């Protein structure tokens, strides 16, 4: 029904979509195993956050090994869900290569929310978290404004795309600078709450938690990768805010 190479192709594609959507390492390995099992072929696979290694062991012919390099993660829960149900369906009813690849292409191109609604949602996130951290309404609306700027910047930036962590440094600078501007109009504001609320969506909460989740599953290498990433993001953000505030607070 499928040659070994085609099967590897399908498994790699499914694994790549999962990894690039921010799925845990054990889930990717599980899915690849499940796809191979549906077609009754033995396999070994080893997944890092930056690469997938698969060796297929078809009965009666030579083993085949492949590596795929993975670049660029953008967290996407919907895709994880779709690939998950794809691999489960495969187990019940194996399908042909063309069909499988078409389904995976569709998953890869599944629609996202448009820019305007994501922008508004980013703003609302800041608003809600500022209130949750006991900020008042005025502070919440300032945070709303800041995170609109930050999200627009982030989207524009990902089009240009150079140094990955520099983006976070600049975001920190922007957030702190706007806060200082607001502070000069109204000195009673609590700028720390505003800054924290507005950068909430940039903070590496998911990387931090999945890093430890990976560690508890025994995937130590991937866990270290994620924790380091989380550390660099917080350092870049904090440095951006800190530098701006320490200069700015003396001027205001």
Partner 1 sequence: MKECILAFFGSLFLAILINVDRKKFFWVGLPGSLGWAAYAWLLDATREVIFATFVGAVVVGVYSEIAARKLKSPATVFSISGAFPLVPGVGAYNTVQMIVEGDMNGALGTGIETIASAAAIAAGIMLASAIFRIMKRPM
Binding site for partner 1 (CB under 8 A): 22-24, 27, 75-81, 84-85, 112-113, 117-118, 121-122, 124-125, 128-129, 131-133, 196, 199-201, 203-206, 208-213, 215-216, 230-231, 234-235, 237-239, 241-243, 246
CB of 233: closest distance to partner 1 in angstroms?
Answer: 8
- Distance in angstroms (rounded) separating the CA atoms of residues 199 and 151: 10
Q: Residue 46: enclosing H or E segment and its boundaries?
A: strand 42-47
Tokens 């910047």, located at residue: 153
Q: Select 56 or 127, whichever has its Cβ closest to partner 1.
A: 127
Q: Select 53 or 75, whichever has its Cβ closest to partner 1.
A: 75
CB of 55: closest distance to partner 1 in angstroms?
Answer: 26
CB of 222: closest distance to partner 1 in angstroms?
Answer: 14
- Distance in angstroms (rounded) separating the CA atoms of residues 184 and 93: 65
Give the strand order in the sheet containing 42-47. Answer: 42-47, 51-57, 64-69
Question: Taking the C-alpha atoms of 197, 76, 45 and 205 in order, what is their torsion angle to the nearest 10 degrees?
Answer: 10
Q: Select 2 or 23, whichever has its Cβ closest to partner 1.
A: 23
Q: Select 41 or 140, whichever has its Cβ closest to partner 1.
A: 140
- Distance in angstroms (rounded) separating the CA atoms of residues 83 and 13: 10
- Distance in angstroms (rounded) separating the CA atoms of residues 231 and 25: 20
CB of 167: closest distance to partner 1 in angstroms?
Answer: 16
CB of 114: closest distance to partner 1 in angstroms?
Answer: 12
């Amino acid at each position: 029904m499928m040659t070994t190479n085609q099967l590897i192709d399908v498994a790699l594609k499914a694994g790549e979509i999962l990894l690039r959507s921010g799925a845990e390492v054990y889930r990717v390995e599980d899915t690849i195993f499940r796809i191979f099992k549906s077609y009754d072929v033995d396999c070994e696979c080893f997944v890092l956050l930056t690469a997938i290694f698969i060796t297929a062991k078809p009965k009666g012919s030579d083993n085949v090994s492949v590596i795929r390099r993975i670049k660029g993660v953008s967290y996407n829960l919907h895709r994880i869900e779709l690939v998950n149900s794809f691999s489960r369906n495969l187990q019940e009813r194996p399908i042909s290569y063309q069909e499988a690849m078409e389904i995976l292409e569709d998953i890869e191109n599944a629609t996202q929310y448009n820019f305007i609604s994501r922008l508004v949602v980013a703003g609302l996130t800041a608003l809600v978290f500022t209130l949750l951290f006991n900020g008042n309404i005025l502070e919440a609306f300032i945070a709303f404004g800041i995170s609109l700027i930050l999200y627009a910047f982030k989207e524009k930036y990902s089009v240009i795309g150079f140094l990955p962590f520099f983006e976070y440094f600049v975001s920190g600078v922007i957030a702190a600078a706007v806060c200082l501007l607001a502070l000069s109009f109204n000195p009673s504001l609590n700028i720390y709450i505003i800054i924290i609320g507005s950068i909430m969506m940039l903070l590496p909460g998911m990387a931090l938690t999945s890093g430890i989740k990976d560690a508890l599953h025994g995937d130590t290498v991937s866990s270290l990768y994620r924790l380091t990433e989380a550390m660099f993001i917080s350092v870049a953000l904090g440095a951006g805010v800190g530098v701006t505030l320490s200069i700015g607070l003396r001027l205001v």
